[in-house]
């Protein structure tokens, strides 16, 4: 499969202020990639002094929609220890992918606030 046909999944992550947990959460996501034939493509750090920007932008790629959906629905992403880690590490996330939508009503991104205090 060529790199041109892979689907990119982008995670924009805002830290909850716990740097070690933030890095552990990113490592957890990376650890799930082989289960779904995913690859870690790149990590983009924020521009210094940017207000409101995510602390990290993570780009992953997958060979097909089935692999993307499998990664997003992986039970290891939702297990209690992973949810606890996410609650400590991430205040907000924005996930987008590069799949074409058949209907304009399809959402292009999911925004999830992981903390109740926002």
53-to-20, 50, 57, 69 alpha-carbon distances in Å: 19, 6, 9, 26
Task: Look over the chain and give the mean of its residue pLDDT values, rounded to a whole number.
Answer: 84
Q: What is the pLDDT of residues 52-64, one digit of tens each?
A: 889 999 999 999 9
Q: Exposure string (b/e) for 43-56, b if CB count within 10 Å is 16 or more?
A: eeebeeeeeeebbb
How high is the mean pLDDT in each 10-residue block of the chain (118 residues)? 79 94 94 96 84 91 94 87 90 86 53 56
pLDDT one-digit tens code per residue, 62-83: 999 999 999 999 988 878 888 8
What is the domain partition of the chain in residue ranges? Answer: 3-99+109-113
Q: Tell which residue, 114, 109, 116, has the closest CA to residue 9.
A: 109
Domain 3-99+109-113 listed as CATH 3.30.70.100: yes
Is the entire prediction scored with pTM above 0.85? no
Nearest-angstrom CA–CA distance, 105 and 47? 33
């Amino acid at each position: 499969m060529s790199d041109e046909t892979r689907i990119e999944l982008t995670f924009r992550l805002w830290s909850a202020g716990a740097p070690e947990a933030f890095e552990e959460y990113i490592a957890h996501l990376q650890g799930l990639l082989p289960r779904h034939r995913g690859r870690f493509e790149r990590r983009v750090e924020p521009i210094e002094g940017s207000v409101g920007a995510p602390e990290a932008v993570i780009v992953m790629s997958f060979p097909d929609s089935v692999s993307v959906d499998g990664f997003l629905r992986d039970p290891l992403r939702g297990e209690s220890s992973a949810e606890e880690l996410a609650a400590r590490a991430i205040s907000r996330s924005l996930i987008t992918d590069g799949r074409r939508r058949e209907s304009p009503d399809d959402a292009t991104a999911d925004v999830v606030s992981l903390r109740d205090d926002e």
